[in-house]
């Protein structure tokens, strides 16, 4: 992007200091946790925007979109940059639109819907919602940093999904306003089923600027860890809690040994050679859970109240994709997959994978409810990386034995797991971004409309 264009861009927003071009800043704000993938790492390390712009209003976003459209400059939106497959890494330079300054919570409606700007941090929303008797239905383990807009556009679920499903389920996302990248950019309201046109489309077909997100009544939670001699015991116990609606839970996680050995800061809850179950349960059920765990042969190694995002230790910091981070800290040769096991055939699927790959794959289960209301063993297994061929063999084999895989080692939506078979995200891109300027390269089934 020429110097002249950057100067023009600076004129579009109230304070030119919000257009950033220092090389170190361009590098930092053009990247996320893409390095989680040994395959994506070399492909994305050198990718950079020409300028970072930090708007503070929808009018500024509209002006930037108009300018970018006129000059055919790509725009890649950034929330907090905690995505883990280079979702917000600009493949084709241009502008990174950093929305972190648009972080206002407008309020929570009487029936528990948060209305906010996209840059609002999820931890702030959780804290503010709890003050009013509500809480997030689900959040990623990156709660402290991740933004609401980035979660909707790039995430899928997390802590809370065992009860409330994913973002795409059960009207969890009520509505949002989106700035389009048409010849004349405009703000379009998406409500009800229309949210699925834009949800989890990685900012390829619209820029979320105002969000209505459903909350749940707040619960007093206890965090709970139990060690078991075997993975099977830990799995069956946690599954029995996860699937039974009698239990009010926010998290039901299982780690096979040696995964718990990676959790250096909480080694007091870990027992050598044992698998670990980690559960968030309603405080008034903690005693009953303790009894159930003992009956299942477990040793309860920790109980402690969850008092909000600042709770210490915050056990969710070891779950979902944070587990991978701890594994990579222990040994950089580890990477991961994102899987969904069959609720009925999972034990056979575990056996087949173990027989073929031995301890190249370590089981880390996150129970979650699917769109049909069935609680399934979701999983983010830790994988010892050797070659791309071996990793792809594992992905192919998982799929062959009925294990769903959202491939986190590709940088485009179609194979990364949540691309919709009804193509509504693609149709929305054709409509709202016909020139293909939003996060180019991330929706590979899209082809620019050419003027004949």
| Residue ranges binding ligand FAD (CB under 6 A) | 32-33, 76-84, 87-88, 99, 118, 140-142, 146-147, 149-151, 153-158, 202-203, 207-208, 320-322, 325, 439
Q: 395 with 168: CB under 8 angstroms? A: no
Residue 82 or 225 having the CB closest to ligand FAD: 82
Query: Shortest Cβ distance from residue 283 to ligand FAD (Å)?
Result: 23
Residue 138 or 227 having the CB closest to ligand FAD: 138
Residue 80 or 391 having the CB closest to ligand FAD: 80
Query: Shortest Cβ distance from residue 140 to ligand FAD (Å)?
Result: 3
Query: Shortest Cβ distance from residue 231 to ligand FAD (Å)?
Result: 21
φ and ψ at residue 260, rounded to 5 degrees: -60, -25
Residue nearest to ligand FAD (CB): 150
Query: Shortest Cβ distance from residue 450 to ligand FAD (Å)?
Result: 25
Token pair in block for residue 35: 């390095």
Query: Shortest Cβ distance from residue 425 to ligand FAD (Å)?
Result: 12
- Cα–Cα–Cα angle for 215, 221, 226, rounded to 5 degrees: 130
Query: Shortest Cβ distance from residue 37 to ligand FAD (Å)?
Result: 11
DSSP 233-272: HHHHHHHHHHH-TTS-EEEEEEE-TTGGGG-GGGGGG--T
Residue 34 or 237 having the CB closest to ligand FAD: 34
Residue 420: burial class (beta carbons within 10 Å; 0-12, 13-18, 19+): middle
Token pair in block for residue 337: 């997959």
Residue 195's DSSP bridge partners are none
Residue 74 or 298 having the CB closest to ligand FAD: 74
Residue 98 or 256 having the CB closest to ligand FAD: 98
Residue among 374, 284, 354, 269 at smallest CA distance from 317? 269
DSSP 395-430: HHHHHHTT-EEE-TT-SSGGGSS---TT-HHHHHHH
């Amino acid at each position: 992007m020429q110097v002249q264009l950057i100067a023009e861009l600076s004129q579009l927003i109230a304070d030119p200091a919000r257009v950033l071009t220092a090389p170190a800043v361009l590098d930092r704000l053009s990247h996320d946790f893409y390095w989680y993938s040994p395959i994506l790492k070399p492909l994305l390390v050198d990718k950079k925007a020409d300028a970072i712009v930090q708007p503070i209003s929808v009018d500024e976003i509209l002006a930037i979109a108009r300018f970018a459209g006129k000059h055919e400059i790509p725009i890649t939106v950034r929330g907090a940059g905690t995505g883990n497959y280079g979702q917000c890494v600009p493949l084709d330079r241009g502008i990174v639109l950093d929305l972190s300054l648009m972080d206002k919570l407008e309020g929570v409606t009487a029936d528990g819907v948060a209305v906010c700007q996209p840059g609002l941090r999820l931890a702030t929303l959780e804290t503010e919602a709890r003050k009013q008797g509500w809480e997030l239905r689900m959040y990623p383990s990156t709660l402290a940093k991740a933004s609401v807009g980035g979660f909707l556009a790039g995430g899928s679920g997390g802590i809370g999904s065992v009860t409330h499903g994913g973002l795409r389920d059960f009207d969890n996302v009520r509505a949002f306003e989106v700035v389009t990248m048409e010849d004349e950019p405009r703000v379009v309201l998406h409500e009800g089923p229309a949210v699925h046109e834009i949800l989890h489309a990685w900012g390829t077909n619209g820029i979320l600027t105002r969000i209505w997100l459903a909350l749940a009544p707040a619960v007093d939670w206890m965090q709970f860890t139990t060690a078991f001699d075997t993975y099977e015991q830990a799995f069956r116990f946690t599954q029995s809690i996860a699937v039974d609606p009698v239990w009010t839970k926010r998290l039901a996680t299982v780690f096979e040994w040696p995964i718990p050995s990676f959790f250096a800061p909480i080694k007091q809850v870990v027992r050598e050679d044992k698998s670990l179950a980690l559960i968030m349960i309603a405080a008034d059920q903690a005693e009953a859970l303790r009894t159930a765990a003992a009956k299942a042969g477990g040793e309860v190694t920790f109980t402690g109240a969850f008092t909000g995002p600042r709770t210490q230790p915050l056990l969710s910091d070891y779950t979902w994709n944070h587990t991978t981070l701890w594994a990579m800290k222990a040994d950089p040769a580890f990477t991961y997959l994102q899987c969904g096991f069959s609720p009925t055939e999972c034990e056979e699927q575990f056996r087949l994978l173990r027989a073929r790959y031995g301890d190249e794959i370590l089981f880390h289960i996150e129970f979650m409810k699917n769109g049909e209301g069935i609680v399934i063993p979701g999983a983010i297994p830790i994988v010892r990386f050797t070659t791309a061929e071996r990793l792809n063999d594992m992905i192919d084999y998982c799929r062959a034995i009925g294990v769903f895989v959202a491939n986190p080692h590709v940088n485009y939506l179609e194979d990364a797991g949540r691309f919709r078979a009804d193509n509504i995200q693609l149709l929305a891109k054709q409509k709202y971004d016909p020139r293909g300027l939003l996060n180019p390269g991330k929706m590979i089934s899209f082809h620019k409309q050419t003027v004949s």
